[in-house]
Structure 1
Amino acid sequence: MTYGAVIRRYLLAGLSAGILCALYLRILGEPVIRAGLDFEDSLPPEGPADPELFTRSQQVVGGMVAIVFVSLVLSFLFGTLYVYLRHRIISGLGDVRASTALASVAFLLTAVVPWIRYPFLPPGMGNGETVWKRGFWELLLIATSIVAFVAIQLLVARLKGRISDDVRWILAIVTPVVVIGLIMFVFPSVSDPYPEGIPAQLIWSFRIRSLGSYALFWAIVGIFGGWLGSRAATSSPNNPPSVPQKDPVTQR
């Protein structure tokens, strides 16, 4: 398969994942969000209320469309990374297992790591300043974790033939855990005081269901995208995926 063929299959997987995640959040996430908004409305106002530009129904529809769009972008980036790493780090596995393994790592780095360091907050918690600060550090943590993980895996791959495969596997698993754990420790904390009286169940329901949406997305992209790639590879086994190369420079 060509690079474009791989990307098309992962875009299809991303579209499917985006639609299912949007439905998941509409059915399971919206009740928790509404409960958070109702709790926020029950608090004494701190000042004049801002006019509502969009109704809640319009916000829900816009959010579902945004989820599908973001899913397409993430699946494109994932497909590109998969093509790059397929024969460098995760070679020797079938397309389904390799894609699922990489998607599992993506879930850990883009969802679990920030979920631990900067837990998700339901509506009604946090102010504008902390929301932007939290978002900035969360995105920076995700980017730093991904760069650290890929760099470690490439370094470990270079040790092939110099140390045993068992030691390489241990290094490939333990080293990222230690390094990313240190990165999480170095990053600053962004704390928001919990509003008095907010139910703990509401907070944890929002966090767990939000994490579940990430798990659903990466599971679909990893498994379904790998399955599509394996079926295509079966029809053209001698044409592995490749990133487009630049035309060679003519020697004079």
Structure 2
Amino acid sequence: MIRALLVRGLLLGLLAGVVAGGFAFAVGERYVDRAVALEKAPAAHEDGGGHDHGDGAVVSRPVQKAGLFLATGLYGLAIGGVFALVFAGLRGRVGPRTDGGLALAAAGTAFVAIVLVPFLKYPANPPAVGDPETINGRTVLYVIMVLVGLASVAVAVGTARRVTGGPWGRWLSGGGAFLVPVVAAWLLLPGVDEVPAGFPASLLWEFRLSSLGTQLVFWAAFGVLFGYACDRAARRLPVAVPSAR
């Protein structure tokens, strides 16, 4: 069973990654192009801090655009495999009783924990935003927020399962248990603000929305596809009929 779930997760993760890549290509690439154009402008190189992502880059923009689908596909492949293994561990233990419901709930929870929580603290930045010398530090902070999101979900689920006050009591206690470590991390971890003066606020906002939208499309597509495939597989399993005596 685990092998079937793993294969299903890998294939559907790959498919969802391609779908998300299509969204990123249709919606997000225009904002990357505009940011690259600003980065290549003379003003961006006055202090020697510009970084060429255009024709003179090691990987040109046309190749980057073509590789977008490869990147999102590989991302989906990896996420799909990990998700399938986690799903196998959760199945029958927590969450909705149906496989489809559990898949949707798990995908939505994963989106909140590993995408939305770190995004709200450290949102994505387009080219020309961010100091290359701080990239390691920013990466560590982002990973910390991902871990905080995952730990908060685990704490919330554990808390909700111990409450015996009905669904409303479980939801409120679980939500509170989730927010406490998340808010604490937001307040305690340092902020990162490396947007250069004069960078268009509208472009920054649109790029970040498209980046978040790409993740939302991936997780929504993957959750629906994986849940549908699991429900369909469950319906095809033979049902044991008690013998007459």
TM-score by length of 1: 0.85
Q: Do the aligned partners of 1:109 and 1:142 also contact (CA within 8 Å) in 2?
A: yes
Q: Do the aligned partners of 1:26 and 1:60 also contact (CA within 8 Å) in 2?
A: yes
Which whole-Å CA distance do the structure 2 matches of 1:237 and 1:84 have between them? 23
Instruction: Map residues 162-177 of structure 1 onto 2, 5 A cutoff.
Output: 163-166=164-167, 167-177=169-179
1:184 is aligned to 2:189 = no
Please give the root-mean-square deviation of Cα atoms over the aligned residues, in Å.
2.1
Cα gap change, 1:44 to 1:147, in 2 (>3 Å): closer
Q: Do the aligned partners of 1:89 and 1:154 also contact (CA within 8 Å) in 2?
A: no
Letter of the structure 1 residue corresponding to residue 150 of structure 2: I
Which whole-Å CA distance do the structure 2 matches of 1:73 and 1:44 have between them? 36
Q: Do the aligned partners of 1:21 and 1:213 also contact (CA within 8 Å) in 2?
A: yes
Structure 1: 5+ residue stretches without partners:
240-252
Q: CA deviation at 1:170?
A: 2.4
Letter of the structure 2 residue corresponding to residue 15 of structure 1: L
1:74 is aligned to 2:79 = yes
Instruction: Map residues 1-252 of structure 1 onto 2, 5 A cutoff.
Output: 2-42=1-41, 43-45=43-45, 46-47=47-48, 52-92=57-97, 94-157=98-161, 159=162, 163-166=164-167, 167-192=169-194, 194-236=195-237
Q: Do the aligned partners of 1:130 and 1:190 also contact (CA within 8 Å) in 2?
A: no
Q: Percent identity?
A: 27
Aligned to 1:247: none
Letter of the structure 2 residue corresponding to residue 21 of structure 1: A
Which whole-Å CA distance do the structure 2 matches of 1:44 and 1:141 have between them? 31
Q: Do the aligned partners of 1:134 and 1:190 also contact (CA within 8 Å) in 2?
A: yes
Q: Do the aligned partners of 2:125 and 2:204 also contact (CA within 8 Å) in 1?
A: yes
Letter of the structure 2 residue corresponding to residue 90 of structure 1: G
Which whole-Å CA distance do the structure 2 matches of 1:168 and 1:221 have between them? 27
Which whole-Å CA distance do the structure 2 matches of 1:110 and 1:140 have between them? 10
Which whole-Å CA distance do the structure 2 matches of 1:238 and 1:210 have between them? 45
Letter of the structure 2 residue corresponding to residue 191 of structure 1: D
Cα gap change, 1:232 to 1:33, in 2 (>3 Å): same
Which whole-Å CA distance do the structure 2 matches of 1:150 and 1:176 have between them? 8
Residues 54-103 of structure 1: CA deviation (Å, up to 9, x unaligned)? 211112223321211111101111111112122222143x2222211111
Aligned to 1:250: none
Q: Do the aligned partners of 1:18 and 1:71 also contact (CA within 8 Å) in 2?
A: yes
Which whole-Å CA distance do the structure 2 matches of 1:125 and 1:10 have between them? 35
Structure 2: 5+ residue stretches without partners:
241-245
